[in-house]
Structure 1
Amino acid sequence: MASRTTLNARNLEALGTGPLAQLLMEVTTGNAAARRKLRLALAGAQSPAQAAREIARRLTSIANARGAIGWRKRKAAIDDLATQRRGIVAQVATSDPAEALALMWRFLSVATPVIDRCRGGEEAVIAVFRDACADLGTLVAAVRPDPEALRDAVFEALVDNRFGQCDGLVGVLAPALGDAGLLELHQRFDALCAQPAETPSDIAAWRRRRLARRALQDIADARGDVDGFVAQTAPEQRHVPATALGIARRLRAAGRTEAALAALDAVTDAAPPAEWQTARLEVLEALGRGEAAQAFRWACFERDLSADHLRAYLGKLPDFEDFEAEERAVALAMEHPDLGAAVRFFLDWRAPGRAAEVLIRRRDEIDGTDTEGLSRAAEALEPDQPGAATLALRAMIDAALRQGRSGQYRQAARHLATCAALAPRIDARTPIEDHDTHVARLRREHARKTGFWSRVEG
């Protein structure tokens, strides 16, 4: 059973309204965000109309603000926006959905000036406005506004969609817009896209066309028009893996698998991401091209040393052939130009002995700046491969000292302590410098890195 002094709602209610009100006044003094929440709560207690007026006033203040939103102010700004959005939904919409709908459109209109003021971390701010787009679907369904007014509101919001804050709005409102509404929006954005630029370097025209194309793609998605979506994709963008992947997924959903493969094969990236590789394999299998899929799996493995691709490749081979293929894969990984990729592969393949072997044999190629990969290798190899683990740790220490990265000195000192603990367990036949010699060399080469040595001695 919780103590009566534990901070929870029940214990606070026991204080009574008077003491609680006094405490709230004390703890919110100097806290503008908290006081705004209290004012909104008080307004909502009077009436939804009063809450609406309070929210409208706050949205005007937010729209007119000019100060930059850096990392120190970002959390408060997001909290403030979320408070206004929740107020519209919880305090206004329950009794006056039409007023709530008008407020939510107004809320969405402040997105551009707010995001313009951000100095990093815009994604979290944009997410609040995308939540508002989802709320609009519920409000529009409840209010059933005039179709023309709805089309105008959607058009204005998408014309202002500079930061993607309204992405998904068309899909949310498609049922309310209907075929006629979607067609009219398509025509309006098509006309906007066709407007000529005043000069060859007209940035405003370029931005207008970009926003129009994005809106036309959303409308095409809502109408199930794959060709319309593709038509609004710039030809040079169709060679980008993420764009090709989006096109291919839509084509597959429409049952056009051959066209999906052609879209994926338009990519010119020499090392496309894993998501694109997976999609291409799925398309090849769907087309019944098993041999081509196997050849592609092996090609992906050769380039990236992906353990997942190799497992899938081996799993589709006849009995006994998989053993020979695995040996060939191990030999390829041992000589792969990217040592870090080779180590990651052997760890993923659960072959720590091979990972240690390649680290020791190719120790001059270890990249000490790969802290994530080397930390993982060191942790995995410490129990049974202390020599290889030591090489990984030393590489990170040397890189931190050589580049003077003082922020890494504390971790480098810990790595050196780990090396000292591993030293007695290293086989004398392992061809690496002994611990004392290594430390002596570090003291000679980096004697002036006092920040590091103070942490070592500490």
Structure 2
Amino acid sequence: MPRSSALDAKALLALGPERLTELLLELAASDPAIKRQLKLAVASSSSPQDAAAQVRQRLVTIARSRRFYERDQRQPIRKDLTAQLDAITGPIAQGDPAAALELLWQFLELGDNVLGRCHDSSGLIGDIFREAIRQLGPIAAAAKPEPLALAEQVFEAFCHNGYGVFDDLIQQLSEPLGPVGLAALKQHFQQLGEQPVPVPPREQWQQVSYGSGGPTYAHERAESSRQWTVKLGLQAVAEASGDVDGFIAQYTAEQQRFPRIAAEIAGRLLAAGRAEDALGFLTRATPDRSRWPEMAWEHAHIAALQALGRSDEAQTARWNCFARCLDGSLLRAYLEQLPAFEDVEAEQRAIAIALAYPSLTQSLCFLLSWPSALAQTAELVLNRRSELEGAQYEVLGAAAEKLSKDHPLAATLALRSIVDFSLAEARSSRYGHAARHLQSCGLLSKRIEAWGDIPSHQAYMAAIRTGHGRKSAFWQRMQELGLS
């Protein structure tokens, strides 16, 4: 049977331009998407104005559509939007930045429309609009719009941000807005904050939800949404302006005592060279140390201590936090600050803490990330094998992969834990993985010389057959691998 010709660039070029043109026209006649792509490519090669006209027309058509895209139907609209954005930010922006800026705004206005008509839990469609936001700053800088007019556009977009497309808008446009535009934008948000939502007569109140605090009405939700928009807008303006105090002012005194918010504030104060103020906010928001650490607060606290030259306190904070959560980045920073030859002993003490850590999964996560702790990881798996949680198959799978070369018995225990969980819980979607894990166990068993009190591979397989012999779907997977 003759081999089919390879379809690559070289083979296509050999067809010649005339034959390729004929084929493209045939495809375009039967596929509207290809036809649009070819028309856009031709227009882009002709002039920025022709390309802009094509994009403008297509954006209007997309806006008029009412089609809903299910999860498996997103690819066409994704490719269409990407093609329009590439044309705007490519040939049109290079030849006519002002036209590109106008089209990019038109493109972004599609955000709520398109995202409201598609299943986008993965964020693939939203990412296209977020990329458009990132492109907005350079294109606006090249187009040089009037700052006050740009501030109006930014304000309107930010206030109608149903799907979070415009979250980073102000930061991205801080340069073209400049001091004049940012000041105008701040004034717009302040004026919005001073305009309360009208309250209709009580008989016209519309209940929209009911929670523990009682019913919530439409005008109350509108007021809450307005306040939130004002707060976020003024924070974004303050951040773009380098106004740390303006950023802080958007939080109440009570909110400033939340560890996460205090960490946000401290980060900006540290960047502004105000370490003492940063530590003050953090101290007033010290979290409950008996619980899981507030990592943002911990990192900000350590940074503030270090910035103030309180290195010993910073080191103590690093070590104590590591001991509570096994954060490898904190341990690395701690070891880097130690004098020569002291780091080895400290590293061993840290590994000992990890080996005795209450959560075996957390301990494994740390040890697997620590290159010199492979032998201790094997020791942990062997000594605490009764605590292995097969549901944590990602962690145990990674452990088995790393341990398989030098520690086959520990690797086997990790894989067996996953298999036991899959079969005991009848997770049929995991049967294929379980069969492959057993195949790996068989290979590992050939390199295990001493099993101790751990059942051999043959004994373990016999127990599997006795306990789960009726799980036909699993044994079918085993048969496919030649293991039945």
Q: TM-score, normalised by structure 2?
A: 0.83
Determine the C-alpha separation between the residues in 2 that align with 1:217 and 1:288.
Answer: 30
Check conservation: 2:408, 2:448, Cα contact below 8 A.
Answer: yes
What is the deviation of 1:191? 2.0
In the superposition, relative to structure 1, how do residues 151 and 122 fare at CA in structure 2: closer, same or farther (>3 Å)? farther
- The superposition leaves residues 387-423 of structure 1 with CA deviations (integer Å, 9 ceiling, x where unpaired) of 2222111100001111222222122112112222333
What is the deviation of 1:63? 1.5
What is the deviation of 1:439? 1.6
- The superposition leaves residues 219-246 of structure 1 with CA deviations (integer Å, 9 ceiling, x where unpaired) of 1112111111122246676566664443
Determine the C-alpha separation between the residues in 2 that align with 1:363 and 1:317.
Answer: 35
Picking from 370, 375, 388, the partner of 1:366 is 388
Matched, 1:447 2:469: yes
What is the deviation of 1:314? 4.6
What SS does the corresponding residue of 2:188 show, helix, strand or coil? helix
In the superposition, relative to structure 1, how do residues 273 and 433 fare at CA in structure 2: closer, same or farther (>3 Å)? farther
Most deviating of 131-140 and 55-64: 131-140
- In structure 2, the residue matched to 1:20 is 20
Most deviating of 311-320 and 354-363: 311-320
Determine the C-alpha separation between the residues in 1 that align with 2:363 and 2:387.
Answer: 12
What SS does the corresponding residue of 1:162 show, helix, strand or coil? coil
In the superposition, relative to structure 1, how do residues 253 and 445 fare at CA in structure 2: closer, same or farther (>3 Å)? same
Picking from 214, 224, 234, the partner of 1:216 is 234
Most deviating of 12-21 and 296-305: 12-21
**Residue 367 of structure 1 aligns to which amino acid in structure 2?**
E
Matched, 1:57 2:75: no
- In structure 2, the residue matched to 1:206 is 224
Determine the C-alpha separation between the residues in 1 that align with 2:351 and 2:48.
Answer: 69
Q: TM-score, normalised by structure 1?
A: 0.87
- In structure 2, the residue matched to 1:399 is 421
What is the deviation of 1:367? 0.6
**Residue 167 of structure 1 aligns to which amino acid in structure 2?**
D
Determine the C-alpha separation between the residues in 1 that align with 2:331 and 2:173.
Answer: 44
What SS does the corresponding residue of 2:173 show, helix, strand or coil? helix
- What are the within-5 Å matches in structure 2 for residues 160-171 of structure 1? 160-171=160-171
**Residue 114 of structure 2 aligns to which amino acid in structure 1?**
V
- The superposition leaves residues 107-146 of structure 1 with CA deviations (integer Å, 9 ceiling, x where unpaired) of 2211111122231246332332233334433443444344
Matched, 1:352 2:374: yes
- In structure 2, the residue matched to 1:190 is 190
Determine the C-alpha separation between the residues in 1 that align with 2:45 and 2:343.
Answer: 72
Check conservation: 2:174, 2:240, Cα contact below 8 A.
Answer: yes
**Residue 268 of structure 2 aligns to which amino acid in structure 1?**
R
Determine the C-alpha separation between the residues in 2 that align with 1:387 and 1:160.
Answer: 59
Determine the C-alpha separation between the residues in 2 that align with 1:289 and 1:401.
Answer: 54
- The superposition leaves residues 150-186 of structure 1 with CA deviations (integer Å, 9 ceiling, x where unpaired) of 2222221211223332233323433333322211211
- What are the within-5 Å matches in structure 2 for residues 128-167 of structure 1? 128-167=128-167
In the superposition, relative to structure 1, how do residues 120 and 292 fare at CA in structure 2: closer, same or farther (>3 Å)? same
Picking from 263, 269, 277, the partner of 1:259 is 277
Matched, 1:300 2:321: yes
- In structure 2, the residue matched to 1:7 is 8
Check conservation: 2:231, 2:250, Cα contact below 8 A.
Answer: yes
Determine the C-alpha separation between the residues in 2 that align with 1:63 and 1:5.
Answer: 40
- What are the within-5 Å matches in structure 2 for residues 18-417 of structure 1? 18-44=18-44, 48-121=48-121, 123-198=123-198, 201=217, 202-233=220-251, 243-265=261-283, 266=285, 268=287, 270-272=291-293, 277-314=298-335, 316-317=337-338, 325-326=346-347, 328-347=349-368, 348=370, 350-417=372-439
Most deviating of 394-403 and 67-76: 67-76
The percent identity for this pair of structures is 41
Most deviating of 159-168 and 229-238: 229-238
Determine the C-alpha separation between the residues in 1 that align with 2:172 and 2:354.
Answer: 48
Determine the C-alpha separation between the residues in 2 that align with 1:98 and 1:351.
Answer: 58
In the superposition, relative to structure 1, how do residues 205 and 33 fare at CA in structure 2: closer, same or farther (>3 Å)? farther
What is the deviation of 1:287? 1.3
Check conservation: 1:261, 1:284, Cα contact below 8 A.
Answer: yes
In the superposition, relative to structure 1, how do residues 65 and 261 fare at CA in structure 2: closer, same or farther (>3 Å)? farther
In the superposition, relative to structure 1, how do residues 237 and 121 fare at CA in structure 2: closer, same or farther (>3 Å)? farther
In the superposition, relative to structure 1, how do residues 23 and 194 fare at CA in structure 2: closer, same or farther (>3 Å)? same
- In structure 1, the residue matched to 2:211 is none
What is the deviation of 1:307? 4.1
Check conservation: 1:238, 1:267, Cα contact below 8 A.
Answer: no
Check conservation: 2:190, 2:230, Cα contact below 8 A.
Answer: yes
What SS does the corresponding residue of 1:351 show, helix, strand or coil? helix
In the superposition, relative to structure 1, how do residues 30 and 247 fare at CA in structure 2: closer, same or farther (>3 Å)? farther
Check conservation: 2:293, 2:324, Cα contact below 8 A.
Answer: no
What is the deviation of 1:294? 2.0
Determine the C-alpha separation between the residues in 2 that align with 1:257 and 1:37.
Answer: 54
Check conservation: 1:406, 1:452, Cα contact below 8 A.
Answer: yes
What is the deviation of 1:372? 1.7
**Residue 285 of structure 1 aligns to which amino acid in structure 2?**
Q
What is the deviation of 1:330? 4.1
Check conservation: 1:360, 1:431, Cα contact below 8 A.
Answer: no
Check conservation: 2:120, 2:126, Cα contact below 8 A.
Answer: no
**Residue 120 of structure 1 aligns to which amino acid in structure 2?**
D
Determine the C-alpha separation between the residues in 1 that align with 2:153 and 2:355.
Answer: 60
In the superposition, relative to structure 1, how do residues 306 and 193 fare at CA in structure 2: closer, same or farther (>3 Å)? same
**Residue 287 of structure 1 aligns to which amino acid in structure 2?**
L
Determine the C-alpha separation between the residues in 2 that align with 1:249 and 1:93.
Answer: 36
In the superposition, relative to structure 1, how do residues 29 and 349 fare at CA in structure 2: closer, same or farther (>3 Å)? same
Check conservation: 2:69, 2:117, Cα contact below 8 A.
Answer: yes
**Residue 52 of structure 2 aligns to which amino acid in structure 1?**
A
